[in-house]
Chains A and B, each alone.
Chain A
């Protein structure tokens, strides 16, 4: 067995250096590392991408649903990327598979979602997968190959599939969604209940599938940035930064320190707005009205600070490969600092009011608990993982940009319940505010945007950013001419949806809303 190629965040690795194992060797390697490393991404792609220019299908043969035609029966290359959070290193290895391969999920539960995705996208069946269902309800990119043997003409409807069922006299099933009462995204939740107690929750998504990854591979290059900024609308800066980082790494471009600082400020403002909004929404879900209404307003204040930098409340149009498009003049910097101080005081009083209320704590504590072991085996990320005691934060483990110069402490809690997830958000709010203040007070001088040169050919780049919801992972693979050959996006929600399902086991069904809100996962970030 060849030694694993370790790679660092934002390093352009020649594809030839990534070990290609046989299927058994690949499986053995995954089983070997799964218990101690975290699966960042596991994806399939057509094998021709590796074999230089030969045998590549012409771009004119485009199949249905806007996906490129892959030759029927073409082998698919699976690539696994594992992260060693403690050492700040990653491992990548790959294998070629045909129409099926032995599933990894039984030995590596983190692979569950990824294997379902591979089966759906490439028609490759992971044999022995415990619950192989479609993930986003679309056709495979390989004509005539379908992991479930569905005929080419049949309609594929979201959530029309098998659901796990508990049988019994007093067991009842509650179906919620895809249309919800609040202004939220569509998703289907199927509860198996015994009275008020939830025995099992199954989540079926896919309603928001837009085909972004396919469009990125084959679409108009000018539309790439708008796609990145709307992968998950609330993680605009997170995804845009991950993309910019990937491109800059592949191009070997140098980004000015000032641009890095402004990106970090925008990323932390995004975190502040969303965390504050989440704490308010959590208060709202337990009907604690004061914090709900204050935090709703303060979230707007943070969004307006982002707008002060770039004119858009969600930071659209700010981050570009090579830097940022808007500089911050001294007058607006001072304005930003004074607004930050005001928002800090408001947030403190609103949030402490909530955490000082026994009636709120009685709802939060010991609700929706995820154990540390479950967190590890599912590979949870972000505040959801930190609330279980996992010290895992891209800003510390795989620092990029400004975070290499200015550290931010990782806030963790040990209970893994709704309180833990809420409290970690509050810790992060305080630290983000301190971080922004520090960065703004020592803002480096210089230009903010420089052109990003041509990309290195036949390379793989893994770009990680700690978005407010957790690790945003982008994987870029370039072709022989340095073109964008393959692009893979893993939103933090992709890891964490299963965490929500596990958190609901043996909980009261009336506690689902606060459990759901404490994770606050993205539907469109998952469905892409």
Chain B
């Protein structure tokens, strides 16, 4: 069972993810700017944006119900709890904070956050919120099953859905060595990452055009500290998805026991892996146009198909 030490370590890992989340966004923005031959904002800009929003007042639509106010907090809570399911630096058995915390709960919590955000957007009564919510749910409908299939494809070999255990077994279990189904599942994950992080080619995080927005459309009615909560949740969700990919496919370098050297090495390995993903996302964002919304389902279906094939190969 989880000792105090385990819980402490898991909380520290969760905290690390939440603190690093905005930096990942900052680095992606910096890479995009450099690829456009611009200087770009500092990588710390997302933190400054959060600080700015926290200082501001809140303006709320007259048509919104009291529930609208608690949406940002609930969304942030669900996302941060999802982050607690992940092994980041340490991957020994039972290293997550919650004894029942596994990949299925993680995906469910992300779905809950998505649902809450959509309900909040509909609650405010704006046309753009409704459109954003409807589009986001359409994307969610395709992304979430694919994500589950990817998880199952790995879990079926590992024999557990607990991510810390899975990460450890990648090292120890011969059956968990990389195989063709892993490649397929990893490719599926690469298709899902831009959709889950609200990035090109599925969504454009930088747009000011209300009519084209997916994720941002749902945030239009939020302001001040509420918007800060949702922005932090968005940063956190992004790093959660990236860390999930790391935990499922390349948990190499994670510490097996708590010593400063092992943890330092694990942190360096984690940051290096994140950086690879950041460059990947930055380059994708700089080289493709956003897709027509009606074509997004086709694109995501590719991810779904790969994930399904991966799972089928495992079972057969």
Q: Do A and B come from one complex?
A: yes
Residues in A lying within 8 Å of B, measured CB to CB: 172-176, 181-182, 196, 283, 285-290, 292-294, 357, 359-360, 362-363, 367, 508-513
Contact, CB under 8 Å: A290 / B291:
no
Q: How far is the CA of A288 from the CA of B207 in the complex (A)?
A: 11
Q: Which 3 A/B pairs are nearest by Cβ-Cβ distance?
A: A287-B290, A293-B36, A287-B204
A174 and B131 contacting across the interface, CB-CB below 8 Å: yes
Interface status of B265 (Cβ within 8 A of chain A): no
Contact partner of B288 (CB less than 8 A), chosen from A172, A288, A513, is A288
- Asked if A286 and B211 sit within 8 Å, CB to CB, the answer is no
Of the candidates A173, A359, A367, which one forms a contact with B291 in the assembled complex, judged by CB atoms under 8 Å apart? A359
Enumerate 29 A-B pairs (CB-CB under 8 Å) in ascending A order. Answer: A172-B127, A172-B130, A174-B127, A181-B210, A196-B131, A196-B294, A286-B289, A287-B200, A287-B204, A287-B285, A289-B32, A289-B35, A289-B36, A290-B287, A293-B38, A294-B36, A294-B37, A360-B289, A362-B291, A362-B292, A362-B295, A363-B290, A363-B291, A363-B292, A510-B212, A510-B293, A511-B292, A512-B211, A513-B211
In the complex, per-residue mask of B20-38: 1 if CB is within 8 Å of any chain A CB, else 0: 0000000000001001111
**A213 and B37 alpha carbons, distance in the complex (Å):** 45
Task: Give the residues in chain A near B292, CB-CB below 8 Å.
Answer: 362-363, 367, 508, 510-511
Contact B207 A287 (CB under 8 A): yes
- A173 closest partner in B (C-beta): B127
B55 within 8 A of A: no
Chain A residues with CB under 8 Å of B211's CB are 174, 176, 509-510, 512-513
Q: Does B158 contact A (CB under 8 A)?
A: no
CB neighbours (8 Å) of A290 from chain B are 35-36, 286-287
**Is residue B209 within 8 Å, beta carbon to beta carbon, of the partner chain?**
yes
Q: Which of A176, A509, A510 has the most CB atoms of chain B within a 10 A radius of its CB?
A: A510
The interface bits of chain B over 267-306 (1 if a CB of A lies within 8 angstroms of the residue's CB, else 0) are 0000000000000000001111111111100000000000
Q: Whose C-beta in chain A lies nearest to the C-beta of B205?
A: A287
Contact residues in B for A513 (Cβ distance below 8 Å): 209, 211-212
Report B-chain residues with C-beta under 8 Å of the C-beta of A287: 200-201, 204, 206-207, 285, 289-290
Please report which residues of chain B, range 199-226, place their CB below 8 angstroms from some CB of chain A when the two chains form the complex.
200-201, 204, 206-212
Is A176 within 8 A of B290, CB to CB?
A: no
Known A-B contacts A181-B210, A290-B36; A363 and B289 likewise in contact (beta carbons under 8 Å) = yes
Residues of B within 8 A of A508 (CB): 292-294
| B290 contact set on A, CB distance < 8 A | 286-288, 363
- Report Cα–Cα, A294/B35, bound state, in Å: 11
Contacts of A288 in B (CB 8 A): 288-290
Q: How many residues of B contact A (CB 8 A)?
A: 30
Which residues on the A side are within 8 Å of B294 (C-beta)? 196, 508
Within 8 A of A (CB), among B177-235: 200-201, 204, 206-212
Provide the bound-state CA to CA distance between A293 and B128, in Å: 27
Assuming the A-B contacts A196-B293, A362-B295, are A293 and B37 also in contact, with contact meaning beta carbons closer than 8 angstroms in the complex?
A: yes
Tell whether, in the assembled complex, residue B209 and residue A285 are in contact, meaning their CB atoms are under 8 Å apart: yes
* Residues of B with C-beta under 8 A to A286: 289-290
Residues of B with C-beta under 8 A to A196: 131, 293-294
Cα A280 to Cα B77 in complex, Å, equals 40
A512 cross-chain contacts in B, Cβ below 8 A: 211
In angstroms, Cα B35 to Cα A290, docked, is 8
| A292: chain B residues within 8 A (beta carbon) | 36
Measured CB to CB, the nearest residue on chain B to A195 is B134
* Nearest CB of A to B284, in Å: 11
Task: Assess the B208–A289 pair: CB atoms within 8 A.
Answer: no
Query: Other than the known A181-B208, A287-B206, A360-B289, what 10 A-B pairs have Cβ atoms closer than 8 Å?
Result: A172-B130, A174-B128, A287-B204, A288-B290, A289-B285, A357-B288, A357-B289, A363-B290, A363-B292, A513-B209
Task: Name the B residues within 8 Å of A293 (CB-CB).
Answer: 36-38
Chain A residues with CB under 8 Å of B35's CB are: 289-290
Most B Cβ at <10 Å: residue of A286, A290, A293, A513: A286
How far does the alpha carbon of A508 sit from the alpha carbon of B207 in the complex, in Å?
17
B176 → chain A closest CB, angstroms: 36
Partner of B289, one of A174, A294, A359, A367: A359
> In whole Å, how far is A4's beta carbon from the nearest beta carbon of chain B?
45
A448: min CB distance to chain B, Å: 39
Q: What's the Cα separation between A294 and B38 when bound, in Å?
A: 10
Determine the chain A residues whose CB is within 8 A of the CB of B286 once the complex forms.
289-290
Shortest Cβ distance from residue A282 to the other chain B in the assembled complex, whole angstroms? 10
CA of A284 to CA of B292, assembled, Å:
14
B288 touches A359 (CB 8 A): yes
Contacts of A175 in B (CB 8 A): 127
* A54 CB, nearest partner CB in chain B, Å: 56
A511–B108 CA distance with the chains assembled, in angstroms: 32
- The residue among B128, B209, B290, B294 with the most chain A CB atoms within 10 A of its own CB is B209
In the assembled complex, the Cα of A287 lies from the Cα of B35 at a distance in Å of 14
* B213 to A, closest residue via Cβ: A510
- Bound-complex Cα distance A174 to B207 (A): 19
- Chain B residues contacting A509 (CB-CB under 8 Å) are 131, 211
Chain B minimum-CB-distance residue to A284: B207
Q: How far is the CA of A294 from the CA of B290 in the complex (A)?
A: 18
CB distance from A263 to the nearest CB of B (A): 35
In the assembled complex, the Cα of A285 lies from the Cα of B292 at a distance in Å of 11
A514 to chain B, nearest CB (A): 9
Whole-angstrom CA separation of A283 from B288 in the bound complex: 10
Bound Cα distance A522, B59 (Å): 32
Identify the interface centre among A176, A287, A294, A511: most chain B CB within 10 Å of its CB. A287
B289 touches A181 (CB 8 A): no
Shortest CB distance A368–B (Å)? 12
Q: Which residues of B contact A172 (CB under 8 A)?
A: 127, 130
Q: A287-B200, A289-B36, A508-B294 are in contact. Are A182 and B209 (CB under 8 A)?
A: yes
Q: A173 contacts which chain B residues (CB < 8 A)? A: 127
Whether the pair B209, A181 counts as a contact (CB closer than 8 A) is yes
Residues of B within 8 A of A360 (CB): 289
Task: Give CA–CA (A510, B207) in the complex, Å.
Answer: 12
Chain A positions within 8 Å of B32 at CB level: 289
Residues of chain A within 8 A of B131, CB atoms compared: 174, 196, 509
When chains A and B are docked, how far (Å) is the Cα of A175 from the Cα of B36? 34
Q: Which residues of A contact B208 (CB under 8 A)?
A: 181-182
Q: What is the chain A residue whose CB lies nearest that of B295? A: A362
Residues of B within 8 A of A181 (CB): 208-210
List the A side residues contacting B209 at CB < 8 Å.
181-182, 285, 513
Q: A358 to nearest B CB, angstroms?
A: 9
Taking the closest CB of chain A, its distance from the CB of B139, in whole angstroms, is 13
Chain A residue with Cβ nearest B206? A287
- Per-position 1/0 for B246-260, Cβ under 8 A of A: 000000000000000
A292 to B210, CA, bound (A): 19
- Cβ-closest chain A residue relative to B204: A287
- Docked complex Cα distance between A287 and B292 (Å): 11
